[in-house]
Amino acid sequence: MIAAYRFRYNIINFFLYYTSPIHLLSLNFLLAAAQKPLIDSGQISAGGLDGTDGCGGVFFVSGAGNYISATVSIVFALYFWTSAKDKPLWMRIAVALAALWHLLFSDSKQIVLAYGVAWLLLIMINSKDIVKTLKLFIGLALFVIFGVWAATNIDEFKAYTSWARPELYGSDGLAWYAKFYSIREITSQFQSPLNWLVGLGPGHTVSRLGAWFLRDYSALLGPLGSTRTSIGQNAMDFVAGFWLTSGSSLFSPIFGWAGICGDIGFLGLGSYLYLAYLTWQYFGLNDILKLTILSVFVVGCIFTQMEEPGYMIFIAFVMGLSWHEQRLKEQMQEPTSLLESVSV
């Protein structure tokens, strides 16, 4: 038990930069906060990205975008808030505020949407528990009220109003046209009913493998017999050429669930959902962890974060660490229960 908590302590210390004057901020956050002004001033290069998109923190110029770095900060802040209750309240609040600031200066708006939708899904899942549902609903309502007020009154939040265009979301709105472009491309190349079950093959649609890797590493993979379709490149060209998709990844036709369905079909999708079910059953130990699991499901509808190693490994790390903590607590309680039964 002592070794496990020492491990947890060391992990938290890794993310907290104690040489900082306020001894609070995570290493990932500090790096991202330093990178943004350096990129904007031309002191360092982020591979052609500006300071907002290039401030990747520990994922700097690694293929993972600013949203991965910001998501890691948010996930860690939520974990720290619920698990580090032995730390002072002011420290947990400061970490949460640092993560929020990271979210703002990296302009990672999709994370807010993902957690907002995940929160709504969590309310629906807990609908049988009236008390918990009410608490979650009140929390979401306060979150929405504050968000609307901040978006209309605070300059740093006004970027979130760019999505507030009802004409985009009608039955024939451009948002749906853009988002489902890849679905239309994929189904147009189905040649057999079996394609609905097994897809077109790994890397043949809009997964990260199909949209980027097979193209970028064709010199290495081509001689090994890799094959491609035009779907990934067509989707990339569409994103670059359409004003709505080039301005926000929210409307991108390249997203995780589309890539899974296109590459490995409904059978592959079913395997992913089964793994998600097991994760929920064994690792959804509290509402914060359940919220994080649901947020992964939602971001799979936005972009390709589910295939980003830096994001998914960190999510798995937090889930696993929480599971081990819970397991060790239960093991520590078992000898006490045994002694009580013997004394009786």
Structural domain boundaries enclosing 53? 1-107
326 lies in some domain: no
Closest to 291 in 3D by CA, of 36, 117, 53 = 117
pLDDT, residue 12, reads: 58
Compute the half-sphere exposure of residue 209: CA atoms within 13 Å on the CB side of its CA: 17
End-to-end CA distance of the chain: 27
In a domain, 58, yes or no: yes
What pLDDT, on a 0 to 100 scale, did the predictor assign at position 15? Answer: 53
Cα 94 to Cα 100: distance, rounded to the nearest angstrom = 10
Q: What is the pLDDT of residue 7?
A: 61
* Residue 145: inside a domain: no
* Residue 69 counted as domain residue: yes
Extract the residue ranges of the chain whose pLDDT is less than 50: 17-25, 338, 342
pLDDT value at residue 20: 38
pLDDT, tens digit, 9 for 90 and up, residues 282-312: 999 889 999 999 999 999 999 888 988 888 9
- Counting other chains too, the contacts that 131-140 makes at CB distance below 8 Å and 24 or more residues apart are 132/287, 136/287, 140/116
Measured between alpha carbons, how far is 274 from 283 in angstroms, rounded to an integer? 14
Kindly give, in sequence order, each residue whose CB lies less than 8 Å from that of residue 248, ignoring residues fewer than 6 positions away.
109, 162, 163
Residue 150 forms part of a structural domain: no
Cβ atoms 119, 143 nearer than 8 A: yes
Q: Which stretches within the chain are classed as H helix?
A: 2-15, 27-40, 51-54, 66-83, 89-105, 109-125, 130-153, 174-179, 181-188, 194-198, 208, 214-216, 218-221, 231-241, 243-247, 256-283, 287-299, 309-343
279 found inside a domain: no
3-state secondary structure of 26: strand
Domain for residue 260, yes or no?
Answer: no
- What would the pLDDT profile of 50-88 be if each residue is shown by its tens digit? 777 788 887 887 766 788 888 888 998 898 888 888 888
The total of structural domains in the chain comes to 1
Note whether residue 33 is domain-resident: yes
Tell me the CB-side half-sphere exposure of residue 264, using CA atoms within 13 A.
12
Instruction: From 299, 297, 290, 298, select the one nearest 318 (Cα to Cα).
Output: 290
Question: At 107, phi and psi to the nearest 5?
Answer: 55, 45
Predicted confidence at residue 80, as pLDDT, reads 86
- CA-derived radius of gyration, the chain: 22
Residues 6 or more apart from 158 whose CB is under 8 A from it?
A: 151, 152
